[in-house]
Amino acid sequence: MFKASFQNDYSEGAHPDILKTLEKSNYASMVGYGEDPLCEKAKELIREQLGENRDSDIHFVAGGTQANLICLRAMLKPYESVIAATSAHIAVHETGAIEATGHKINTVSTEDGKLRPEDVISVIDAHEDEHMVLPRVIYLSNATEVGTIYHKEELEALHRVAKERDLLLFIDGARMGSALTAGDNDLTLEDLTRLTDVFYIGGTKNGALMGEAILINNASLKKHFRFHIKQTGALMAKGRVLGAQFTGLFQENLFFRLAKHANDRAEELKTGIKEEGYGFLSETTTNQIFPILPVNVVEQLEKHYRFYRWAVVDEKHVALRLVTSWATEKSTIETFLKDLKEIAANA
């Protein structure tokens, strides 16, 4: 039986406009390894979003774990560590990829998945000398693992701590589109080039077949970055595939339009679930929502929809993670809400 999916934002293929950029360039013969005209064009289009701060180096890789691994390896010396929220993707869902490079992740437990200056300082203060690792990078993700976003003031505060404490600031932007188009967002890509040393812009979860664009803003990290990409096995011979997709994403505002579409569907879902009287595990404005529902209702919903059970709340309640995407249709939301109402009435 076909089940409508709220499982992820990468469950569908690619937006037709992105497929068009691939098709249009298909027969052109190009140099390999990301030095082709499509990658150059995509970089130009991304730079147009950077206002005054256009000198970031830009590199494309296929996926988020690769991006995290390459960036952190490039930023850390062998004895240095990375500070992250306990829920961070690198700490939970990357199979120890970062630790496998010998770098410890110093995790800090936070309610909403966000790190704050005091969290960073507590880790720094607990590391005194060469008998311990040296915390060096602050890892954030925007949106976070629980769908929350950073506001400008919060990022500026973290940027200040990074400067004061000689740390590097890195943002995993696998869901950057969703964060930057959230209703309460006040950050731009230009701000991110000013406030971070490195960040990336996710395509995989926002309408591309695959791909993440890494922006290196700190000049001291630019040199030899391609060596890190290659040594990690991530320098694609057909790098043009990534260039074509990011060209498509950054033409005619597609990147932002697709992300906003996903957020709008999530907002409709959230409003409808709230109207049924249910609460949420976290307050989110992005394309991930975490409603708390009775287990017997969830069991019925699972017959018709795909989604993850995120956390057990108590014996009778579970929090779900519902994710909308660039391809989620309004009618799917309406049907889900109708089904929820019916199931709840009969439960």
Ligand X SMILES: Cc1ncc(COP(=O)(O)O)c(C=O)c1O
d(CA 226, CA 241): 17
Provide the 10 A C-beta neighbour count for residue 75: 24
d(CA 297, CA 262): 25
Provide the 10 A C-beta neighbour count for residue 126: 10
Q: Is 286 in the site for ligand X (CB under 6 A)?
A: no
Of 222, 188, 95, 200, the C-alpha closest to 140 is 200
**Where in 164-183 is the site for ligand X (CB under 6 A)?**
172, 174-175
Q: Is 204 in the site for ligand X (CB under 6 A)?
A: yes
Per-residue buried b or exposed e for 149-184, using 16+ beta carbons within 10 Å of the residue's own CB:
bbeeebbebbbebbeebebbbbbbbbbbbbbbbbee
Q: Is 141 in the site for ligand X (CB under 6 A)?
A: yes
Between 51 and 96, CB nearer to ligand X: 96
Q: Is 142 in the site for ligand X (CB under 6 A)?
A: no
Binding segment (CB under 6 A) for ligand X, from list 58-66, 160-168, 222-230, 255-263:
58-66
Between 144 and 300, CB nearer to ligand X: 144
Between 215 and 343, CB nearer to ligand X: 215
Q: Is 9 in the site for ligand X (CB under 6 A)?
A: no
Between 64 and 248, CB nearer to ligand X: 64
Kindly state the smallest distance separating residue 74's Cβ from ligand X, in Å: 16
Measured from each CB, the residue nearest to ligand X is: 64
Q: Is 65 in the site for ligand X (CB under 6 A)?
A: yes
Q: Is 63 in the site for ligand X (CB under 6 A)?
A: yes
Strand partners of residue 153: none
> What is the identity of the amino acid at 16?
P
Phi-psi region of 102 (alpha: psi -120 to 50; beta: other; left: phi over 0): left
Binding segment (CB under 6 A) for ligand X, from list 59-67, 176-184, 186-194, 224-232:
59-67
Q: Is 288 in the site for ligand X (CB under 6 A)?
A: no
Tell me the helices (H) and strands (E) count for the chain, helix number first. Answer: 13, 13
Kindly state the smallest distance separating residue 174's Cβ from ligand X, in Å: 3
Q: Which residues bind ligand X (CB under 6 A)?
A: 63-65, 68, 89, 141, 172, 174-175, 204
